[in-house]
């Protein structure tokens, strides 16, 4: 019997050694991966235990749900994290504590909490936490959005403020914005009575208005306009989706190399497409400048940035081509998708509420008339239109969860310890639905709440009133707030003044799909497809040149 067992054992050993070398290498690699994951698990578990001990000794964390081993609360976020966190805040309170892997996360879900983090503790939360998007897409933190707070960040922000977003710059490019909005009206008038993708049309307008100010020309012009605009929008949408993913590798460093969700691979591929796109724009721009007369100095943003390559751009810092491309990435993405998505939401809400659409049109007709289009100079005289835009930003904030910040040192908020290195998320979407701040039907679309005599008369969008902060607040408030707000108001006013709107295939307005698609920006799950119908005098509509 023993001899038989020994014989079989010998045969088994021989069979193992007879496995082809290629398969043996695969088996060895699988074993190494298993050992690595096991070791990672042990070290992470020890680290979590020691971290929890430190916090018990030094202070009390805000309340929050228990998480899973190693990955913490990540699996609990669901497909729409802003909604999940809103629901959790109702159970645990306006300051919520979570754990994503080895990272402490605190979520502010009320205006009072947001004010303490973004006003009282603003300096402590002025930096961004490490993340794969900033590393692999945003040129390894060399852009404005994710750059560390300091001299270089201040220089980049000052450049944008001076040459794109200042009062003078806004006035200098007024005709550019007006020309692109006229082009939008021209295209829609040609398609009167036909179904159009509202978001796509508005995105092309917003992008060309921005690029004419930024690089001195329409990026999507000529006969290839439609294909180029659609491809660029697809790139931006993919970027916003990827940037909104809570990547496990960002929170469990030991697993980062596995790229379990495939996010990093997609980011690198997308980065290559953006990099090629910006290389082409910069090359074409330099070629155009070389051909121009010496007296024909260009004043667009890209010309200024290229000029700063040869000299210190403030505080002794010089720019590189990578710096320029990183900044263009911010401007071309944050300044286009957020704007077009908000206009799309605004028009969808007005279509759903025909009485409000009619009220806005009556105001526009009384101020502008029917013989011309709206101009930017009309906007201050349109309080109801401005209220519509505010209410749209309230219910459909372009960034439902603020871009994350990181605590530079331990601090105390409402008696809770916020440990150094904690990631802060401000749930802008939740704050705008807080019944204690919005007692008059917080889930209803009611622009009149912002009008004279309304409960929120005088509330602005500029980071001063924390119950409504779609652009953020504090040091890292959106640099393009002034331009973004102006374009949303201008395009929304134009669309509802120049056209009546109806849904396709006899769809009832109350059945219009208003589901959200989560990403870094809050887009519609289903694009708004509607039919424009001209409503002004024929001479009001621009003709083809």
User: Which residues fall in the annotated binding site?
Assistant: 478
The string over 340-362, giving b where at least 16 C-beta atoms fall within 10 Å of a residue's C-beta and e elsewhere, is bbbbbbbbbbbbbbeebbebbbe
Number of other residues whose CB lies within 10 A of the CB of residue 185: 24
Point out the annotated binding site for heme.
478
Question: Whole-angstrom Cα distance, residue 321 to residue 212?
Answer: 20
Calpha distance 63→65 (Å, rounded): 7
Q: Are 109 and 469 in contact (CB under 8 A)?
A: no
Closest to 389 (Cα-Cα) out of 484, 259, 276: 484
With CA atoms as reference, report the closest residue to 351 among 527, 471, 502, 173: 502
- Please give the Cα distance from 229 to 262 (Å, whole number): 27
DSSP 533: E
CA atoms 397, 525, 529, 505: torsion sign? negative
Q: Give the C-alpha separation, 299 to 322, whole Å.
A: 21
Q: Taking the chain, what is the end-to-end CA distance rounded to the nearest angstrom?
A: 99
Tell me the C-alpha to C-alpha distance, in Å, between residue 361 and each of 167, 199, 382, 485.
Answer: 28, 21, 10, 20
Do residues 374 and 364 lie in contact, with contact meaning Cβ atoms separated by under 8 Å? yes
Rounded to whole angstroms, the Cα distance separating 509 from 507 reads: 6
Pairing of strands 405-406, 423-426: antiparallel
What span, in angstroms and rounded, lies between the C-alpha atoms of 152 and 265? 29
Q: Beta strands 95-100 and 523-524: pairing type?
A: unpaired
Token digits for 209? 């208005």
Task: Answer whether 160's CB lies under 8 Å from 166's CB.
Answer: no
For residue 323, give both structure tokens. 């710096």
């Amino acid at each position: 019997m023993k001899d038989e067992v020994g014989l079989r054992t010998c045969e088994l050993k021989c069979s193992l050694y007879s496995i082809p070398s290629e398969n043996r290498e695969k088996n060895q690699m699988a074993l190494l991966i298993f050992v690595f994951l096991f070791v990672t698990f042990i070290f992470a578990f020890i680290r979590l235990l020691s971290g929890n001990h430190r916090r018990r000794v030094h202070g009390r964390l805000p309340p929050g749900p228990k998480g899973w081993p190693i990955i913490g609360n990540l699996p609990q976020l669901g497909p729409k994290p802003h909604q999940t966190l809103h629901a959790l805040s109702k159970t645990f309170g306006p300051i919520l504590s979570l754990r994503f892997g080895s990272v402490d996360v605190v979520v502010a879900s009320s205006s009072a909490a947001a004010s303490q983090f973004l006003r009282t503790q603003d300096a402590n939360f002025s930096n961004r936490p490490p993340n794969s998007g900033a590393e692999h897409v945003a040129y390894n933190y060399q852009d404005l959005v994710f750059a560390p707070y300091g001299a270089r960040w201040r220089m980049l922000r000052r450049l944008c403020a001076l040459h794109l977003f200042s009062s003078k710059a806004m006035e200098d490019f007024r005709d550019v914005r007006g020309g692109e909005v006229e082009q939008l009206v021209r295209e829609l008038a040609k398609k009167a009575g036909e179904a159009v993708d509202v978001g796509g049309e508005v995105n092309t307008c917003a992008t060309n208005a921005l690029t004419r100010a930024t690089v001195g020309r329409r990026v999507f012009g000529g006969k290839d306009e439609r294909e180029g605009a659609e491809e660029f929008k697809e790139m931006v949408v993919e970027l916003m989706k990827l940037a909104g993913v809570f990547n496990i590798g960002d929170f469990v460093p030991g697993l980062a190399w596995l790229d379990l969700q495939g996010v990093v691979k997609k980011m690198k591929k997308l980065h290559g497409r953006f990099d090629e796109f910006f290389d082409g724009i910069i090359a074409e721009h330099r070629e155009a400048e070389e051909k121009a007369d010496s007296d024909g100095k260009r004043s667009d943003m890209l010309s200024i940035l290229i000029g700063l390559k040869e000299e210190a751009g403030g505080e002794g810092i010089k720019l590189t081509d990578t710096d320029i491309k990183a900044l263009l990435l911010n401007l071309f993405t944050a300044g286009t998708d957020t704007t077009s998505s908000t206009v799309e939401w605004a028009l969808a809400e007005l279509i759903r509420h025909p009485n409000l659409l009619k009220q806005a049109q009556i105001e526009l007709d009384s101020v502008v008339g029917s013989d011309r289009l709206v101009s930017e100079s009309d906007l201050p005289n349109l309080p109801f239109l401005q209220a519509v835009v505010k209410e749209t930003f309230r219910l459909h904030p372009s960034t439902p969860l603020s871009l994350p910040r990181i605590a530079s040192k331990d601090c105390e908020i409402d008696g809770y310890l916020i440990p150094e290195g904690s990631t802060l998320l401000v749930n802008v979407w939740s704050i705008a639905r807080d019944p204690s701040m919005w007692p008059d039907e917080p889930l209803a679309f009611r622009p009149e709440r912002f009008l004279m005599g309304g409960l929120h008369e005088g509330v602005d969008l500029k980071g001063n009133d924390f119950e409504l902060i779609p652009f953020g607040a504090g040091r890292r408030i959106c640099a393009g707030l002034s331009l973004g707000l102006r374009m949303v108001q201008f395009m929304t006013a134009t669309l509802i003044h120049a056209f009546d709107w109806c849904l396709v295939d006899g769809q009832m307005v109350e059945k219009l799909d208003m589901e959200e698609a989560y990403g870094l920006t809050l887009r519609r799950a289903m694009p708004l497809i509607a039919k424009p119908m001209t409503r002004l005098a024929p001479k009001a509509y621009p003709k083809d040149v």
